[in-house]
Amino acid sequence: MQPYSLNELNLVIPELWDKPWDEYIENSEGIEREFIVVQSTYARALRQIADKPVTPEKLAWLSLWSRMFGALTGARGATMWKSRFAVSVMERVAVEAFLHLEAVMLPAMENAESLDEHAWASVRARLRGYLAWCIYGDEVLYKQLLDDRILEAAFDPKPERALIEELGSSANAWESLTGTAFEVLSDQEAFHDRENAKKQLTSDMTRATKWLSDPRLRPWIDKLRLLKRESEGRGAVPLFSHFDLPASVSGFLRKRGSSIKYITYLKGSGFIHGSSLEASMLVGDSMIAPDFANLGRGFETATNTTLSECRLAILLLQVLSTHIASGDSAH
> Which pLDDT score, from 0 to 100, does residue 297 have?
61
Distance CA 185, CA 160 (A): 9
Q: What is the mean pLDDT of residues 231-236?
A: 76
CA-closest candidate to residue 37, choices 48, 50, 24: 24
How does the average pLDDT of the chain come out, rounded?
A: 90
> pLDDT band at residue 331, thresholds of 50, 70 and 90?
very low
Question: Lowest-pLDDT range, 67-81, 138-152, 249-263, 287-301?
Answer: 287-301
CA-closest candidate to residue 156, choices 186, 198, 199, 180: 186
> pLDDT band at residue 292, thresholds of 50, 70 and 90?
low
CA-closest candidate to residue 306, choices 122, 38, 117, 119: 38
Question: Lowest-pLDDT range, 177-186, 278-287, 294-303?
Answer: 294-303
Q: What is the pTM of this model?
A: 0.91
> pLDDT band at residue 301, thresholds of 50, 70 and 90?
confident
Render 76-91 in DSSP notation, one character per residue: HHHHTTT-HHHHHHHH
Residue 147 has pLDDT above 90, yes or no: yes
Distance CA 80, CA 210 (A): 43
Is 237 within 8 Å of 164 (Cβ atoms)?
Answer: no
Residue 214 has pLDDT above 90, yes or no: yes
| Structure-model confidence comparison of residues 229 and 217, the more confident one | 217
Distance CA 260, CA 254 (A): 9
| Structure-model confidence comparison of residues 52 and 157, the more confident one | 157
> Which pLDDT score, from 0 to 100, does residue 191 have?
94
> Which pLDDT score, from 0 to 100, does residue 19 have?
96
Residue 163 has pLDDT above 50, yes or no: yes
| Number of neighbours of residue 253 by Cβ within 10 angstroms | 20
Q: Where are the beta strands (DSSP E) in the chain?
A: 281-283, 288-290
